[in-house]
Structure 1
Amino acid sequence: MVSINSVTDHLHMLINLSPSISLKDFISAVKSKSSTWLKQDSRTTMFTSWCKGYYACTVSPSMMQKTIKYIESQTEHHRLVYFDTEIMTMCQHLGLTFHPDDMR
């Protein structure tokens, strides 16, 4: 784990994933282990479950520090921009189809 930060409805992680571990398996393990903890922690009483999907991208070594700063600034960033709006805008910009049901 290089960097991690969460806000109310999602989290950002920057990881250095070994080629021997699939991203799908890594995300499944994170969701499984953290679900148990989040459901038992009194500070996260609103948590019920993770959504079925996830978003992942690669980051070049030259963008690592910028990405870490982006992750660290999520609390402030999401005071101004809602997560679903950000994802929808990103999908439109990249020519991808936004599937709102994946966010639930």
Structure 2
Amino acid sequence: MSSGTFSQIYIQVVFVVKGRENLLKKTFRDEVFKYMSGIVKAKGQKSIIINGVEDHVHLFIGLKLSMRLSDLVRDVKNNTTNFINEKRFVMGRFSWQEGYGAFSYSQSQIDNVYRYILNQERHHQKKSFKEEYIELLEKFKIDYKEEFLFEFYDEEGIE
């Protein structure tokens, strides 16, 4: 990186448990989120807040140009998969679904995004993950095709 180059890019990253299974139980969820935060910090990035519910996670990070977002997300997902499996937090093998959503914010939006992520449990009492995710894609004017989104489930099976 050149001298005189300074940046701070604020990104919300969203990804889900493989099969959208409700595997991130409250009993160990905070430990997993702290572990994720440690990975982000160890990579020289800023962990603002990490939170989620049983089937998905929101990371809000300050990303420096020294690292590609795709590399950071890959490392967080790989390392937490190993961590969850080594700790035997779940029966069987845990893994994350492929892909993620990434949404950028300005400095003035940090407090609102922080509160939104902090209140994920309350938020999902009113809105499904699918509604939340599609709302984010549309709010950020991201073109998408339904068949390439995460696996979404309703009460009767796959949507």
Q: TM-score range by the shorter chain?
A: 0.7 to 0.9
In angstroms, what is the RMSD of aligned CA positions?
2.1
**What is the distance in 2 between the residues matched to 1:79 and 1:47?**
28
Whichever structure has more strand as a proportion of its residues is 2
**What is the distance in 2 between the residues matched to 1:6 and 1:44?**
17
Of 121, 124, 141, which residue of structure 2 is paired with 1:75? 121
**What is the distance in 2 between the residues matched to 1:16 and 1:53?**
20
Of 78, 86, 103, which residue of structure 2 is paired with 1:40? 86
| Alpha-carbon distance, 1:45 to partner | 3.8
**What is the distance in 1 between the residues matched to 2:48 and 2:105?**
12
What is the one-letter code of the residue matched to 1:79? Q
| Alpha-carbon distance, 1:92 to partner | 4.7
Identity of aligned residues (%): 26
Using structure 2 for the length normalisation, give the TM-score.
Answer: 0.57
Using structure 1 for the length normalisation, give the TM-score.
Answer: 0.84
1:97 corresponds in structure 2 to: 144
Q: How many residues align?
A: 104
The answer to whether the aligner puts 1:55 opposite 2:101 as a matched pair is yes
**What is the distance in 2 between the residues matched to 1:80 and 1:42?**
31
In the alignment, is the contact (CA less than 8 A) between 1:91 and 1:98 conserved in 2?
A: no
What is the one-letter code of the residue matched to 1:40? E
1:87 corresponds in structure 2 to: 133
The answer to whether the aligner puts 1:4 opposite 2:50 as a matched pair is yes
1:14 corresponds in structure 2 to: 60
What is the one-letter code of the residue matched to 1:51? Q
1:52-94 C-alpha deviation (Å, 9 max, x unpaired): 1000011100000011000101011112211123223443553
Which of 1 and 2 has greater Rg? Answer: 2
| Alpha-carbon distance, 1:103 to partner | 1.3
2:110 corresponds in structure 1 to: 64
